[in-house]
Amino acid sequence: MKFAALAVVLCGLILGSGCSGAGSSSSSSTIPPAPTQSTIRFVEAAPLLEEDVGGVPIGLGTSYLMVDGATIASLFEYGTITQCANYSAASHTIAVFDSLGYSVGPFKTPALAAGKSYSIALVGEYPRYSLLTFEESGTGSGAGLRVYEASPSEPAVDFGSFIASSTSGFAKLGSVRLGSVAEVSLGAKVTNFGAYVGKGTTPISGGSVTLQSVNSFDGRNELPFHNASVLSLFVFDVSPGALAGPVFGVLDR
């Protein structure tokens, strides 16, 4: 399988507990999970969204995300990772629409617990779309690496680290299966750090990520970096012709 080249994820900076992300375009204040609520970010991991219209799959145009009947993201396309927000500790209904009314869904999340943070990913292909729910947890103090497996076509991958400046020294740190999130502590601090997703010590195409490629201000490729201490990698199905993916990185607290 050939994978598209990696590009920087398009989500903004959110620094919260677990459910948080750092991109390069914008920032927002910390959103910790409220004691009586769940904190959620939504992820569009499906390469192509299509609806059955008279037995024919019709691709959605520019799409947006609705949660419990309210528009949450005005643009929700492959590679989108929304900012985190607090929701009631309950099950939620999500659907994706375009301006012509074509849609994918609705889908129901499982019941979410109060005080917890989640990443919920839309995965699959026509006509089999579904949600994967990842519960966030900490990697401990210091720097950490977190890998979310949201690729039905690649249901098991390895991951590890490499020397960012020379793109060498690939070392496997673990493995993760579809629907799971793997977390590894990297120690008090790392510099010149890159992470990859692949098989053994060989990254897939588009699977090598440096910290600077996620946040251009992190020129030393170091963690912790300001308030961020965790590099989170999301593994998606490849989208043919896409300029981004299939591995997207964000910086989390």
Each domain of the chain, given as residue ranges in start order, spans 37-252
pLDDT in tens, 138-152: 666 799 999 999 999
pLDDT for the residue 10:
31
pLDDT for the residue 35:
79
Listed as ranges, residues in the chain with pLDDT below 50 are 1-17, 21-30
The set of residues, in sequence order, having a beta carbon less than 8 Å from that of 226 and lying 6+ positions away, is none
Joined tokens for residue 148: 């979310």
pLDDT for the residue 18:
57
Beta bridge partners of 135: 118
pLDDT for the residue 32:
61
pLDDT for the residue 136:
87
pLDDT for the residue 242:
85
